[in-house]
Chain A
């Protein structure tokens, strides 16, 4: 224990010797979180990748009903502006890229529906705004389907009433009434689809990036420690220690402990920053958050050990560690949310420490102490064990190569 204390004290001394690097290591996370959160917020807040666009409306009937229909279309979030115009002007607008599509409502549309022989409407699309055109086409299809189903319903009512022996006048009155009610219901779609806000606690972009980038910083903070180990090997200090009444694992453990300590300081700094800026009350969630953090630090330490096992020289460790951490940052959803990533990234992210750290933290932050973080915790511990075993395996292989 005395020798371990000496090793630990010496490692601390080396780390704290480079004050500038240490300050950078501790302050950088806050700066990066701020910059990335600010840069990525517009992307996070968008519900779709397609920006709202303009649509031309050619209303050949120009009645009260088509007016209501036009107002309903204007209410769609994807439609930035509805330009009421003629068919020729609509074509011009599409050609000039001013409108993504044009909806052409035929003359006598309402009457044709009333007489159960609906006139065909038209949608003119733009080849340069293909996705937007397709969306408008789908909106029109949905409308057409609603009309068809309404007519089918009216037909059923008509058949039943006729078989029941209703007189012609009653039959006519009932049909007109049902028709108007149906059109009213379809156009007032809010009576069919009730819109409601998701009541789950939303995550502030700064909190999201703080949670998702913390694992990255934890991983980065383990690099200097593991580089120290490589330098000790290069300088011959490790072999000299082997000749002393101590063990090399004490040197390794000391480095891991230092890397966890640095991570803890980063965690505290980020925690204080979050409490002050976005008013995240970490105090209430500290109990479940801390095990997630500790498991992240452990997994990162095991990962850095694995890197040290596959690379012996300090420069190689730097290269491999930095590239792998950047790769994890991307596939683990620390730069862009995992839900918006392709399937392959989501599958690969299982191996990324930052994915589970983010999920664990966000699980707790969005649901309080009852948040489900156990799955993330288990995955982080599993990754720690996996990387640790791989490190031992590679170290063993290296030793066998040397002694063979």
Chain B
């Protein structure tokens, strides 16, 4: 599925005080891929996500999309990137419709187009019947789905998802997984972090294994397992966590 480097990560270093969160990390992501970032807690996954989402800047190194630096020109890419944060970044006192109305406005979507996209997103993530209910009355899974819907309104080319299925019921996980496959078919590039290894095994075309800020392996599932000498991703992760 790798159609050449669409996103190039080049020698990224990010430090917080004395701790190095990302230590000279380099890899490529192809257009239309579902790319998984895997690693134990503190591996640097969320730090990388925040760099790619242009929320923070690295101490050194660069990330390019289509050959253009997103570090130097973050404003040029923000309209092309969708970001699903780890926390449910929604207003609990507002309804699903009102929340999506806000996020559509943030991306400059207006008028009929806005109404159409909100309706589509809600239907797509099976939330249409709860459109006018306050988010605080939603279950964890519904909140997660709405969290994703908010980042799909502007039809991003790249969707970055930080633990999108954390604490979510099976039904919601399936809905999210189907959505990801649909988006991939529509040539959207997805970068995902998750603690659900089985989910990543099934969904991701390629992946990067991070540990303590360092990139250990990158490639397809089979390539990673071969390089690591592990029989499954599960065993590899257990090994990393114990180390």
Contact = CB atoms under 8 A, between A and B. Distances in A.
A245 B160 CA distance: 15
A18 B136 CA distance: 15
Interface string B84-125: 011111111110001001111111101000000000000000
A149 interface: no
Interface residues of B, number: 33
Contacts of B83: 240, 243-244
B102 A6 contact: yes
Interface in A1-41: 2-3, 5-7, 9-10, 13-14, 17-18
Interface of B: 16-17, 50, 53-55, 75, 78-79, 81, 83, 85-94, 98, 101-108, 110, 150, 160
A404 B17 contact: yes
Contacts, number: 78
A232 to B, nearest CB: 8
16 contacts: A2-B108, A2-B110, A5-B105, A6-B104, A6-B106, A13-B94, A14-B93, A14-B94, A235-B87, A235-B89, A235-B90, A236-B88, A239-B50, A239-B85, A239-B89, A244-B106
Contacts of B75: 245
Interface residues of A, number: 25
Contacts of A404: 17
Contacts of A242: 53-55
Nearest to A246: B106
Given A14-B93, A14-B94, A245-B79, A240 B85 contact: yes
A242 B108 CA distance: 15
Given A10-B102, A239-B55, A245 B107 contact: yes
A6 B103 CA distance: 8
B85 A10 contact: no
A241 B94 contact: no
Contacts of B104: 6
Contact of B94 (A17, A240, A245): A17
Given A17-B94, A235-B90, A404-B17, A244 B107 contact: yes
Contacts of A235: 87-92
A237 B55 CA distance: 12
A224 B16 CA distance: 33
B105 A243 contact: no
A236 B106 contact: no
A237 B87 CA distance: 9
A244 B109 CA distance: 12
A92 to B, nearest CB: 73
Contact of A236 (B89, B94, B108): B89
A257 to B, nearest CB: 16
Contacts of B91: 10, 14, 235, 237
The 10 closest A-B pairs by CB, nearest first: A6-B105, A236-B87, A236-B89, A243-B83, A243-B53, A245-B78, A240-B89, A10-B102, A245-B79, A242-B55
A245 B108 contact: yes
Q: Give the interface centre of B81, B85, B91, B101 by most chain A CB atoms within 10 Å.
A: B91
Contact of B105 (A9, A236, A402): A9
